[in-house]
Structure 1
């Protein structure tokens, strides 16, 4: 579950909104000063070095001079996320490469990682005249097909889970719960592209906005494992979950997906795993966290593998390191499978049985992968 709450994106808004340029072979932002926007974040300000810049590949050069951990976003006018970087500690710097088309955007800093943030209106001008790299176009198309397949495969699993809930069958619902989430968890690198689906289906109680009704998987998870009952409300919520995920299934074809959003999304997701999910906060009642972890890694790895041909050409050392770190993390995850389980299955030990030392080992392995993954967007934008 990602931290940002997104507004509904209508078909008209999608058409009118500014879309990201897909895979241009122009010079990287680091090589063109007019494409670098310095963002200085403090506890009460978000200063940008320029409010107009050329469309195409851009780079945010971020410094947090405040006392709080912050987040920085490039947003469409309707609050969908173009690019983001979370968990920027006090006194630290980060760089984010993104792709934008001509039009209006907002750059937002969120001191304390709460609320809508401090925002600056900015404008991307003109348009990119560089030729597109067809390999990146193919990567985006292939990733969209992958995401669509995950959504299509998720629906029958969720329908089976919902039927068990509606039948009041606690045992069957518990058994179906974790596998019903795999497709969603695999697509989380681009979850911000689906509008307001995430807060409807994957929010936890402590992530609710003021006045927001708690719906989705985790509300039902609590009913199953903590409350031990399935009443009228829970049965209605199961039906709503199916409806919301059918909406997600329909939105995949219209979602804004670019090479840099694939790369940045994969990195941000692994950061979330390392700093949040690894604590057990995601599946706090069912303790099926390792199923989520594995699906998250698979989704991030799919994004990387599709971008790898361009990354390999532009930065062979980076591609080699990413290959190594993905392999190491997958090997580590395999050590937490139920003994005798086929490696293709998702039978992992209950996360409450994973001790502090093993949790730290998982966090360290995810961080070791996230560090080189943070360079992937810049590598494919060269």
Structure 2
């Protein structure tokens, strides 16, 4: 989840969001700086876009954060579903996001401070010239959709094991079932977050609540139960109610996964989002601050990113062999590093993160950053 839900709605996010919406592909002319490049300038109180109308097809969002706060940029449907996003855009930094968009109305949102509805700009995507997509990319999208659905389907029984233990008041059983119940969600989190309303119900932390929300009544989901199990060490009637609510909310997620808007660029941008999740929540120890099961989430995020990359790799390798060679190297290095902290390569039993020292956390962070940088280029290469 987004620790503090890094809703940095930047231009990149906008492009990513739009990317998820369409099924048409077209060679990007972003390099030439034509009508398919949209500049997004985010500050602490503004979200300026260079164009409010542009043609359908591939779009490049060129984002710059000139504010003093970390921000996110989203591309949103009129009903607030997320088309795509780019997180963790620090002050004084620039990012680019390549996406596919189809004709329609959207909003580009910048979220300085990573909270609230963001500063929004309405944009219109006009009819564009559709070009047939590489059949290998259609195959990749279909395979990834199947993967996302499988992860959701496999998650529900594990969640039931967890919530049944909570309802029975069995503290130890609930603690043991907690981390396994989250693996499928963490592998495919960008798909879940694209719906907009599910993530805040099931995966928000107390400091990620919006202004005016009361942690006692409005905080629901895994992390609220995590706090009860490890910090409070008690299961009361409220926790049992929350367990049943978690079942309901995740069932909703499971039934909606098959309807998610998925494109090659949204897959690539989603892989980068998963690495951002690791960098901003797992490496810092903020995500699982009570249970210290961060490395389970960490591994699942990396696996999800690697799955999307592997499916896109045949086309990416043809377009930029040097990039895929670097990505192969960095994924392998991070996987090897993570294996140092797991019981064996077939288990999901990892070292408690409170036992991982500062130097080791730095090593993990460096490995994540080494992968995130080339991964941020994957979307543009896929549609090159």
Asked whether the two chains share a fold, i.e. TM above 0.5, the reply is yes
Residue 83 (structure 1) shift: 2.2
Residue of structure 2 in register with 1:298 after alignment: 303
TM-score by length of 1: 0.92
Residue 268 (structure 1) shift: 1.9
CA distance in 2, matches of 1:257, 1:241: 25
Residue of structure 2 in register with 1:366 after alignment: 368
Residue of structure 2 in register with 1:10 after alignment: none
- 1:257-313 CA-to-partner distances (Å, cap 9, x unmatched) read 111111111112212311332111111111111011001100010010011111111
Which deviates more from structure 2 when the two are superposed, residues 47-56 or residues 71-80?
71-80
CA distance in 2, matches of 1:253, 1:330: 29
Residue of structure 2 in register with 1:56 after alignment: 57
Contact 2:24–2:102 under 8 Å retained in 1: no
SS in 2 for 1:120: strand
Contact 2:6–2:115 under 8 Å retained in 1: no
Contact 1:104–1:122 under 8 Å retained in 2: yes
Contact 2:204–2:221 under 8 Å retained in 1: yes
Residue of structure 1 in register with 2:160 after alignment: 159
1:40-189 equivalence runs, <5 A: 40-189=41-190
CA distance in 2, matches of 1:228, 1:302: 36
- Check 1:19–1:62 CA distance in 2 against 1; reply closer, same or farther (3 A cut): closer
2:247 pairs with 1:245: no
1:270 to 270, 275, 293: 275
Residue of structure 1 in register with 2:345 after alignment: 343
Paired residues, what number?
A: 368
Contact 1:109–1:117 under 8 Å retained in 2: yes
Which deviates more from structure 2 when the two are superposed, residues 141-150 or residues 341-350?
341-350
Please report the RMSD computed on the Cα atoms of aligned residues, expressed in angstroms.
Answer: 1.7
Residue 127 (structure 1) shift: 2.7
CA distance in 2, matches of 1:255, 1:269: 17
1:190-201 equivalence runs, <5 A: 190-201=191-202
TM-score by length of 2: 0.92
Gaps of 5+ in 2: 8-17
Residue of structure 1 in register with 2:234 after alignment: 229
Which deviates more from structure 2 when the two are superposed, residues 361-370 or residues 67-76?
67-76
- 1:235-274 CA-to-partner distances (Å, cap 9, x unmatched) read 1111111111111110011111111111111112212311
CA distance in 2, matches of 1:147, 1:127: 29
Gaps of 5+ in 1: 6-16
Residue 18 (structure 1) shift: 10
